[in-house]
Structure 1
Amino acid sequence: MAIKRKVNNLLALAVLSVIVERPMHRYEIASKLKERGKDRDMDIKWGSLYTVVQNMAKAGFLEEVGSEREGARPERVIYRITDVGRAEMREWTTELIADPELEATRFTAGLSILGVLPPELVIELLARRIATLEQTIGEIERELAALAGALPRLFTVETEYSLAMLNAEVAWARSFRAELVDGDFPDLEFWRRMHAENIDPADVFAIVERGEKPE
């Protein structure tokens, strides 16, 4: 069973993952997170870092151990991870690895209302997406190749996973686009007619709800 947390934000987990090394202030935490690309692995909203760190201290995951000041800059509070924070990091990571969770994406949202666009435009948009994905895949492959032997694989497995997911997405997008280009996609002609004749979406939904086959 998932633990009900006072702080349930992946930014909090990212903070724990770097502050476990040594006590840090918020600016150093942010610097470490950016340096290690955690903003690519997790949905990090930098503007909420201050609040998240405060909430983690209230929850007992972090504790203040001092402060420092540089020149005229505001005083910076230094935090360290607590035993409770260490246990939380382990338990939370265990949950993330063991328990699959269906995560909605922007692409899924777009696909769910794909019919609002004509199929010819979708073919063009998919080509653009595939090209962008291929470029991203190439960049990640070069990054992994550069790190091979220089960094233990333990610290790159999340990048390997991201690469595998991107390859799966581009393979699906190519296959789907090919169906549209070749005319093999079911109900393609009705989809075209929806836009050619400007059929009201309400009428389309009525047809589907009645269980009728679009013609």
Structure 2
Amino acid sequence: MSSIRLFILSSFDLLGPMHGHRLRIEAENRHVSLWTEISVGAVYGAMARLAEEGYLRQIGEEKDGKRPVKQIFEITEEGRRLLAELRRSGLTEIWYKHDPFDLALVRLDPASAAELPALLQARLKALEERLAEADRINAWAAPYIGVTKRAALKHGQHRLRGEIAYLREVLDDIDAIVAEVAAGKV
């Protein structure tokens, strides 16, 4: 599943032909970084790949004064088919990636065990700050967005709350974890 492909193709499907700069502005205005891993600057390269693969096609150019020529693209029928697949997979596939945290935790060496409580407290603080920021952004955005976008934003908040709850459980067991690592039993 590719979020950036889904965003680009759905934007072309919704808005019609456009150039990469307009798509980038759309990504910024829609605040896609709030609910995706998309880097706004990555839309240009992803657009070029979609065009190379036949999902977008160039239909013209636009020249505005002394600015560089902008290529205008539109979605192809093959692009619409891919978009339908991406929408379905985005709604049905479970996106779960193992967190390197787990490997680092089970591969601690006894010398590192002493700093584990401080590292986990710092991680917890960072997660709580990220959640507070998400809460702030979502509260600000709520009056301006519909139910669907609010649901997407809430998903991120719920994931952060789950991570915070898990880390607090680990911290509840920190003495036993440190003892186990120090004894070389991991």
Classify the TM-score, shorter chain. 0.7 to 0.9
Answer 1 or 2: which has greater helix percent.
2
The SS at the match of 1:77 is strand
Taking the aligned partners of 1:154 and 1:190, their CA distance within structure 2 comes to 46
1:22 is aligned, of 2, 16, 22, to 16
RMSD: 2.6
Aligned counterpart, 2:56: 62
1:189 aligns with 2:172: no
Larger Rg: 1
Aligned counterpart, 2:113: 119
Q: TM-score, normalised by structure 1?
A: 0.73
Aligned counterpart, 2:77: 83
Sequence identity, in percent? 22
Q: TM-score, normalised by structure 2?
A: 0.83
Structure 2, gaps ≥5 residues long: none
1:99 positional shift: 2.1
1:42 positional shift: 3.2
Q: 1:145 to 1:52 in 2, by over 3 A?
A: closer
Q: 1:112 to 1:90 in 2, by over 3 A?
A: farther
1:94 positional shift: 0.8
Taking the aligned partners of 1:41 and 1:116, their CA distance within structure 2 comes to 38
Counterpart residue identity of residue 133, structure 2? E
CA offsets 1:98-129 (integer angstroms, 9 cap, x no match)? 12243133434533534476233111011111
2:101 is aligned, of 107, 111, 126, to 107
Aligned counterpart, 1:10: 3
Taking the aligned partners of 1:105 and 1:170, their CA distance within structure 2 comes to 14
Q: 1:9 to 1:112 in 2, by over 3 A?
A: farther
Check conservation: 1:18, 1:33, Cα contact below 8 A. no
Taking the aligned partners of 2:139 and 2:28, their CA distance within structure 1 comes to 21
Aligned counterpart, 1:160: 154
Taking the aligned partners of 1:108 and 1:31, their CA distance within structure 2 comes to 38
Structure 1, gaps ≥5 residues long: 1-7, 195-213
1:159 positional shift: 1.3
Count of aligned positions:
185
